[in-house]
Amino acid sequence: MKKIAEALRIPHGGTVIEIGPGHGELTRTLLEACRAAQCRIIVIEKDERLAQELSIWAEQEEGAVIVREGDALKLLPEIAAGASGAPYVIAGNIPYYITGKLLRTVGDLSPKPARTIFMVQREVAERASAQAPRMNRLAANVQRWAEAAVIGSVPKTDFSPPPEVDSALLLLSTIPGEENRNDPAYERAARAIFAQPRKTIANNILHASSLPRAEIEKRLKAEGIDPESRPQNLTIADVRNISRGEFGIE
């Protein structure tokens, strides 16, 4: 818990948003750090009973902790918009089944958090932080706006009852200049490029483009990309260059 609080580098006078606080174990650690940073904590808890328990505890903290009951996927955009330009960070031990949707939601926020730390399935953390030659669509979408790193492992034996898989701490540090920026062209390009990872880059683009194959290959070579290579070998810069080039991706 302390490692999460330290890695978040909680901004002075800002906000910490915690998703899925449960019984508040991490919340209490974050609160200690927030007292020194003069910030507030907003926790989002979907379970009504847990939210009520947290609210009773939060009343004793004189406004330092605000409890919001509901779905984080729906509440996050509203809370982020209410940050009014003040820096904020996000943390959470999230249900594995919403990981993909939650990462997309955070990536679409405006403004985005300075840093985000999620405890997720270890395989997902490794995929999100992957580099060439292990690039994938999740990594491409996440690393468009954030630097991704696995900063810790959490074995399943640390939980009771233990889950079926190990977990990991995934740290996302928003890239300067990406706080308020979304890029639909990039997202379309990533979707096309990684549609079928075992096919070549040229073949994947061909299925989503209005251009003939010869022209796609020509433009890929102009970007320094081998048309016959696999998507896993691309870098984020390569995906960005394809999205900004005229490849006719729809």
For 8-64, write each residue's pLDDT tens digit: 999 999 999 999 999 999 999 999 998 888 899 999 999 999 999 999 999 998 889
Same fold, 2-174 and 184-244: no
CATH number for the 184-244 domain, one of 1.20.120.450, 3.40.50.720, 1.10.8.100, 3.50.90.10? 1.10.8.100
pTM: predicted TM-score of the whole model, two decimal places:
0.93
Helix axes 201-208, 213-222, angle to 10 degrees: 120
Residue owning tokens 């009343």: 59
Fold adopted by 2-174: Rossmann fold (3.40.50)
Domain ranges of the chain: 2-174, 184-244
Antiparallel, parallel or unpaired: β 146-154 and 115-121:
unpaired
- HSE toward the beta carbon, residue 20, CA cutoff 13 A: 14
Q: Are 92 and 42 in contact (CB under 8 A)?
A: no
| Average pLDDT of the residues of the chain | 93
For 66-123, write each residue's pLDDT tens digit: 999 999 999 999 998 887 678 999 999 888 889 999 999 999 999 999 999 999 999 9
